[in-house]
Structure 1
Amino acid sequence: MRQKLTLITLGVRDFQRALQFYEQGLGWKKSTASQDNVAFFQLGGIVLSIYPWDLLAEDAQVPAAGSGFRGITLAYNTKDRAEADAVLKKAEAAGAVIIKPAVEVFWGGYSGYFRDPDGHLFEVAHNPFWEMNERDELVLPQ
């Protein structure tokens, strides 16, 4: 497993308010990979995304409230599906709990989640629509 994070997703209670904060307030430009309810911002070699809180919990298959869900996930993007499976197995062997085994997901990729020993959620995903550069950093369309 490479020592690399590629994406931080913040669960937001009010998507439009959050989008306004990042775009108009901070002056950040969202990627054209953004959609109606998810926005992506290239931050050097890492990507920040904002996504509705409840939908993020649903994607990770954890309750949105009352479960200790913190409204944030860290992501490790892989080069292919086999690497995603291998990373999840390695995390589990190290003591992580697999929350969602990797499966084909609605956006066309392959994704699973694990919870580290302190309860932090990590998504392990292969996104065939996103490019990774020679340093394994995500490069989003402008």
Structure 2
Amino acid sequence: MNAARLSMITLGVADIAESKAFYEKLGWRASSSSNDSVVFFHSGTAVLGLYDRQALADDATVANDGAGFDGVAMAMNFASEADVDAAFAHAVECGASAVKAPQKVFWGGYSGYFADPDGHLWEVAHNPFVELDEQGRMQLPD
């Protein structure tokens, strides 16, 4: 058994319907297995889930007292700087908060950050050192 894989990311959100609408505006496609309590989005080899923030904390048996940066950022990688700019602008048009406009970064790439309606950080990036396959997945060396 290979447990070293990412199957799903679940975001704790304040309003499932509002968050679902936001991600659909971004272009994500919800699965028919979604319902009023949980939403599942197709995302290549992993699933993005939306679940009530308090219910998620309860399920994990942790306190729901985090505010601001939770130490996690998700990323969408693109083939070019122009694609990053377009994705960032689209996210802001869909209701995201601009956190850091796309720009050249210290590691040699190009990236920016936006936050979804619950403050979850998303990086949009172009990494010139990593190839993307036809589905947009990062191709890392072994």
Deviation at 1:3, TM superposition (A): 4.6
- Distance (Å, rounded) in 1 between the aligned partners of 2:28 and 2:76: 9
For residues 16-69 of structure 1, the C-alpha deviation after alignment (integer angstroms, 9 at most, x for no partner) is: xxxxxxxxxxxxxxxxxxxxxxxxxxxx957xxxxxxxxxxxxxxxxxxx9610
Residue matched to 1:97: 97
Letter in structure 1 aligned against 2:72 = I
Q: Which residue of 1 aligns with 2:135?
A: 135
> Structure 1 3/130 Cα, relative in aligned 2: closer, same or farther at 3 Å?
farther
Deviations 1:52-111 (A, max 9, x none): xxxxxxxxxxxxxx9610110000001100010000000000110110000100000000
Distance change (3 Å), C-alpha of 1:119 and 1:71: same
RMSD: 2.3
Q: Find the counterpart in structure 1 of residue 50 from structure 2.
A: none
**What is the match of residue 41 of structure 1?**
none
- What is aligned with 2:80? 80
- Count of aligned positions: 84
1:98 is paired with a residue whose SS is: strand
**Structure 1 segments unaligned to the other structure (5+ residues):** 5-43, 47-65
What is the aligned partner in structure 2 of residue 116 from structure 1? 116
Q: What SS does structure 2 have at the residue aligned with 1:117?
A: coil
Question: TM-score by structure 2 length?
Answer: 0.54
Cα offset, 1:132, TM superposition: 0.8
Match of 2:15 in 1: none
What displacement does 1:2 show?
6.5
SS for the counterpart of 1:113 is strand
What is the Cα deviation at residue 135 of structure 1?
1.7
- What is the identity percentage for the equivalent residue pairs of Structure 1 and Structure 2? 49
Q: Which amino acid aligns with 2:73?
A: T
Aligned to 1:29: none
Larger radius of gyration: 2
Q: TM-score, normalised by structure 1?
A: 0.54
Three-state SS of the structure 2 residue aligned to 1:108 is: coil
Show the 5 A alignment for 1:47-62: none
Letter of the 1:138 counterpart? M
The structure 1 segments of at least 4 consecutive aligned residues displaced by more than 3 Å after TM superposition are: 1-4
Ranges in structure 2 where 5+ consecutive residues have no aligned partner = 1-25, 30-43, 47-65
CA distance in 2, matches of 1:2, 1:140: 26
Larger relative contact order (C-alpha < 8 A, sep ≥ 6)? 1
